[in-house]
Each structure stands twice: as C-alpha cells, then as structure tokens.
Structure 1
C-alpha cells in the first residue's frame, strides 16, 4: 500500500494545505466579524455567500478545466482564494465579506474537484477505496487543525488572514510541479429535481433540510459559542469536535444502514438530533463541559445523515447513474445551504443564540415527519438490491468528484 501512496503523496499534501487554509478561513471570519460587531444576520449571509459560490463552482469548474487544463485551473482557484481572504482583511465590512466569501466557496469547490479528480485517476480499482479513506482522513484532520490554530494567536490582527492565504498558495505547489499527465475531464452534474424526486423523494427532501441545518451550524457555531461566553480555545473546539464525532460514528451508522431500512436509520438519527436541539434550547448550557458533550452528540447526528441519504438514493438508482444521483443530491444540499444560514442568522438576530438550534430543530422535525410518511408509503429496498454504505466527509467539503471517487 505504501508503494501505491507514494505517487499520490504530493496530491494528498496539496489537499491538506487546501483544507487547512479552508479551516482557518471558515472560522476566522465569524470570529472576527463578531468582534467587529457584525449582526448575526450579516454573519449568516457569509454562509449563504459561501454556499452560492460552492454550488456554482461545482457546476462551472468542469467546463473551465476543459478549456484551460487542470494545472492552470487549480492555480487560478488557489490564487483567487488567497486574494479573497486577504481582501477580507483589508475590507472589514459585511458588504465586502459576503461576495468575497462567495469567491472563496467557488474557488474551494473548484480546487477540491481538481485534486479529487487527480487522486481518482491515479488510484486503481483495487486501491480506490483505501485512497478515498486516506483522503477523507487528511481533509478532516487538516480542516480541524486549521480551526484549532486560532487560539494560538490574536484574532483581532492580521495573522490568520495571512496564514490562510499562505496555505492556499502552498496548496498549488504539488499540482504545479507535477510531471504526470492531466487526469480525465471532471465529473459533470446537473440539477434534475424531477428525476431525483422520482428516484427517491425522501432523499431529496431530507438532503435539502440537512443542508439548512448543517450550513447554519457551520456558519454560526463560532458566533453562538462566542456569545455564550466561551473562550477562543473552546470556540475552536466547539466547531471542531462535531466534525470528529461525525466521522467516528459513520462506521456503526454504516453497519446498521446496510442491515436494515436506511430510512429507519435516518429517522433514528433525526430523533437523536432533535433531542440535542431541545437540550441546547431548553437547558441553555453555559458550562464548557456540558456544551462540548452536547455538541459532540450534535455532530455525530448531523454529519452522519448525509451519507445515509446518499446511500438510500443510490439503492434506487439505475446502474451507471450513481454519480448523477450523488452529484445531484449534493447540489440540492447546496440549495439548502444557501437558505439555512440566512434563516438561522435572522432567527438569532431576533431571539438570541438559541435561534441557531431552533432552525436546526425545525429542519430535523421535518426530516423525521416526512421519513415516517415515506416509510408508510413505500416498501424498503430488498437486502439483495442494496448497495454498500460509503463513509463521506461533511457534505460542505464534498464535490461531484467525491461521488466519482466513491463509486468508480
């Protein structure tokens, strides 16, 4: 296996730099924006801007790469991502940060697609699953590390904006010096709501709601933690622990998902998420320990929903259509991600910090109710016809190329 990893080690290093920078970028903006007195609604719009850019990047990048090539396209993405975070340092205003965050989302999606395409091309059929697993570990570790560096310096200064830009630039080095041939064209997906709905209504509805919930948390978790009085180290932990617990529970969730009706597994996860939502709303915990325990359970729930939904949709997909189904669901998730931070930011501005989990609560209740109704309407997929559950990184870090790596 080591011999197989050596040829892609540079690409994995580039991915690590990219996601490390992304982790810094994702956390420094809400932390610094909250310090500057930005409203919760304005900070929520940062998440909306990111989602708009990310979805657009997933759609447009394949055409851009086809015209200029993988290396040039990746260099452009890294350059503009570095520009966006540095411009955010110079223009400290929500009116500037929202479109700059959209640029970041576009560039991050494009860069991730190119790296994943390259990895998929360099891995053979026997090692693809292991390569995907290692890639997922690298991206999760890099994202978490990027968030955890914030307590090491002054968020009120320029350090983390510059550091993020530096690592965006470092990310382009492995691809720029690569002597290997460019991989095949990137996976193209289109948003066919009618086709996706016909394939699996519960998957479309649930993934849209998960987009609302997860993007709300991803955008405003740091704001919530800061406003309840947690110190910066705890704020970073509050945003990082859910990613790690979400990754850890995917093995047992996947086991049960393969053994029983995936919709029942989704329902159980939604009920668990509802309990955690209510705990935050009713208890209003101030203790650091209680917050960390609850947010760990929250992450385990919200970050395990997406792969269950995709696996269920793929159980109903025709042969050869898995990438289109998975990619289409990713775009539906993106649409929910556009709406979620907008709603949660407005709710937090109106009723306070609990507005974040009230938004999630509404989304999770709707997932549970609709899943119950669909279970009553449609028989489960026969065990012999089910595909295999595949662990996934958080959907905000997934692209159509992620789906291609999983199913090829």
Structure 2
C-alpha cells in the first residue's frame, strides 16, 4: 500500500479534495434549500438532477476525451464545477438549482472518468487491488471530512459555497502537475437490459433498487435532517455516519463474500439494512438512534453495490465482464435518478420519516428478491466465484472496468477462470 501511495499520491490527494467539495455541496444544498422554503418535493427534483447529469456523462465523456484529450476535458469540466458552485447562493431559484445540479453531476462524473483513467493507467497487475482499495478509501474519507465543514459559521451565505469551489480548483494542481495524458481509450458498449437480466436477474434488479438507496443517502439525507429539526452539527454527524459505516464494513463483508453463497449474504445484508431503517423510523427521531441506524444502513448499502457486481460476475466469462459492468452502472444510475424523486414525494405525504420508510422498503425488496432467486437456480460453488472488489456507488465506467480487470486477474491467479452457465 505504501508503494501505491508513493506512486499515486497526487491523484489520490486531488480526488480527496474533489470528494470534500462534492460531499459538502450535496449536504449544503439540502440545508439551504429548506431554509429558502423549498419543499421536500422540490428538493428531490434538485437532488435527482445530479444523478441525471452523472448518468449522461458516463456515456458522453469518453467520447469527449477521445476527441480533445484528458487534460482539456479535466480542466474544462473542473472550471464549470467551480462556477456552478458559486451560482447557487447567488440565484436561489429551484429551476436554476436543478440546472446547476445537472451541470455538477455531468462535470463531476467527467472529472472522475478522467482521473480514474489516469489512475488505472498507472497501476500494474500487482498493485491494482491495492490501488482500487486506496481510491475507494480516499473517496469515503473525503465525503466524511466534508461534513465537518457544514458547521462553519457563514454569515454572508456565500462562504460555504466558496469553500468547495476553492477545494475543487485546488484539487487540479497536484493532478495536472504530476501526470501526463493517457492514451485514448475505447468505451465499452453495455449489454442490453434483456441480456443483463438473463445473465443475472438479482444483479440487475438489486442494482436498480440500490441506486435509489444510495441516491437517498447522498442526495436527501440533509433534507431529512433539516425537516426533522436537526441542528447543523447533528446533520453533519448524521450524513457522515452513512459513509463511516460504509468504510468500516466494506472489507469484512467482502471477505465473507469470497467464502459463502453470495445470494445469502446479499439477502442478510439487505435485511439488516432494512431493519436498521425500521429502527430509525420507529425511534421517534432520537438523534443517536438515527445516527446508529445511518451507520448500519451505510455499512450495508455501499457493500451491497460491490456484492451485486461480484455476484453478477460469477455468471460471466472474462470477456463479457466490462460490458456487463457498464450495463449495471446504467441501471444503477436509473435507480439513482428515481430514488430522490420518490423519497421527496413520500416525505411530502408522510413527513420526514418517509426517508427511512422508503429505504426500508427498498432494502426489503432486495431481501425478498434475493430469497426468491435462491429458489430459481443453484448457488455457484464458492471455489468458482470471482474475487470481490470494493467499488463505490459513485464509480464511473473506468473504475468499474478496472475493478473487473482486477477480478479477472485474481481469478486467473487462483485458477478459477471458468464460469458456470447462467
């Protein structure tokens, strides 16, 4: 790991600063939107717009990079991010905020694609697994750290928007000054949804549902906090708890996934996440109860993303893994766009507790569908499963393909390259 940090410290530092900026703007808009009188339904549209932009960029940006190069795309999209962040406090209008979130989603995805392609190009077969782990840990730490900035006094109303803008601008320096452009790359064409469902119904359905859960965490948690009457300090702790749980549980659950039937583990993890949501729902808003529940939910939902990808990979030949990953990313993106919209509507109807109610429902559906799929075909023998790779729900196609390369290499090293028929 020391060697990975020595080789890629500039990229990892840049991504850390980017994630601090991105994590802060998401929570900050949730708080400021409620203060400006925006309803939960309105904020759900604003928050959903980020994931719509992210989804579009995952398809468009690779072509942009092929045409004009990594450096130009990285610098141009970064400039748009800094500009958009400054405009939010200047024009407090839901239509402007929605457009701004689309821009942020598109640009952040593009920046991630560019940075991850550099990072993947700098890794070797021997360091790929450690690099993926370091990158995911940096992402989580960045989001957790960003929540501490939420409590900085901001009398003018602009300071907390200026901070992420500055952080994003600074993040480009270590990246652009320490690396050179990578060769042009070809984006992978995703499987059709029909083909993906035939290969792994649980993988496809589960990724769609988990897209909604992740979008709720990243987009609507701060909105819930303001509507539930939490202070800024409490909101920062509450939002950070999701990612602390994710960081702590990713590797223990990954270790288990390589040693047992992944469907059982998916079912159990989703069940625990759903039960934690119900505890928060029934707690009456007791602060430390909802914080503990958030940590458990985050510790279940984020690893579930990686588990579902690993499970789907068990039914694929190595040459099909990249295209299947692109398809899973797309279906997860659709769920992420829909998630805040549905949660916003539910919160308007039943109040802030609808936030936990819908997460419980989504987790429950994953649990039941995993249980159903266990009756439809036999489990893949543990000795024939692919290796688990930790993947963040904010991963781009580049990172997904890098993770699949790692899974293929690990499987070949273990002599388990053959996969069962779907």
1:21 maps to: 21
Partner Cα distance (1:16, 1:77) in 2:
17
Moved more, 109-118 or 125-134: 125-134
1:66 maps to: 66
Partner Cα distance (1:189, 1:146) in 2:
35
| CA deviation vs aligned residue, 1:7-59 (integer Å, no higher than 9, x gap) | 42221222122111111111111111111111001111122101110011111
Deviation at 1:325, TM superposition (A): 1.6
Q: Is the 8 A contact 1:117 1:186 kept in 2?
A: no
| CA deviation vs aligned residue, 1:280-332 (integer Å, no higher than 9, x gap) | 2223223x222222221121122221111000001111122222222221111
Q: Please, what TM-score do these two structures have when normalized by structure 1?
A: 0.95
Q: Does 1:10 align with 2:10?
A: yes
Moved more, 314-323 or 109-118: 314-323
Partner Cα distance (1:180, 1:358) in 2:
48
1:210 maps to: 210
Deviation at 1:181, TM superposition (A): 4.1
| CA deviation vs aligned residue, 1:311-359 (integer Å, no higher than 9, x gap) | 0001111122222222221111110011110010011011101111221
2:382 maps to: 383
Deviation at 1:184, TM superposition (A): 4.3
| CA deviation vs aligned residue, 1:123-173 (integer Å, no higher than 9, x gap) | 111111112211122111112112221112228710111111111212222
Partner Cα distance (1:270, 1:348) in 2:
22
Q: Does 1:276 align with 2:287?
A: no
Q: How does 1:235-274 map to 2 (within 5 A)?
A: 235-274=235-274
Which structure 1 residue ranges, 5 or more long, are not aligned?
none
| CA deviation vs aligned residue, 1:361-396 (integer Å, no higher than 9, x gap) | 221222122111111011111223200111222x0x
2:87 maps to: 87
RMSD of the TM alignment (CA)?
Answer: 1.7
Moved more, 113-122 or 142-151: 142-151
Deviation at 1:86, TM superposition (A): 1.2
Q: Does 1:398 align with 2:395?
A: yes
2:114 maps to: 114
Partner Cα distance (1:293, 1:180) in 2:
44
Deviation at 1:241, TM superposition (A): 1.2
Q: Is the 8 A contact 1:62 1:188 kept in 2?
A: no
Partner Cα distance (1:203, 1:94) in 2:
35
Partner Cα distance (1:331, 1:45) in 2:
19
Q: Does 1:220 align with 2:212?
A: no
Which structure 2 residue ranges, 5 or more long, are not aligned?
406-422
Partner Cα distance (2:386, 2:205) in 1:
21
Partner Cα distance (1:5, 1:223) in 2:
36
2:367 maps to: 368
Q: Is the 8 A contact 1:246 1:302 kept in 2?
A: yes
Q: Does 1:299 align with 2:298?
A: yes
Partner Cα distance (2:292, 2:96) in 1:
36
Moved more, 81-90 or 372-381: 81-90
Q: Is the 8 A contact 1:23 1:143 kept in 2?
A: yes
Deviation at 1:274, TM superposition (A): 1.8
2:153 maps to: 153
Q: Please, what TM-score do these two structures have when normalized by structure 2?
A: 0.92
Q: Is the 8 A contact 2:89 2:161 kept in 1?
A: yes
Q: How does 1:67-216 map to 2 (within 5 A)?
A: 67-154=67-154, 157-178=157-178, 180-185=180-185, 187-190=187-190, 192-216=192-216
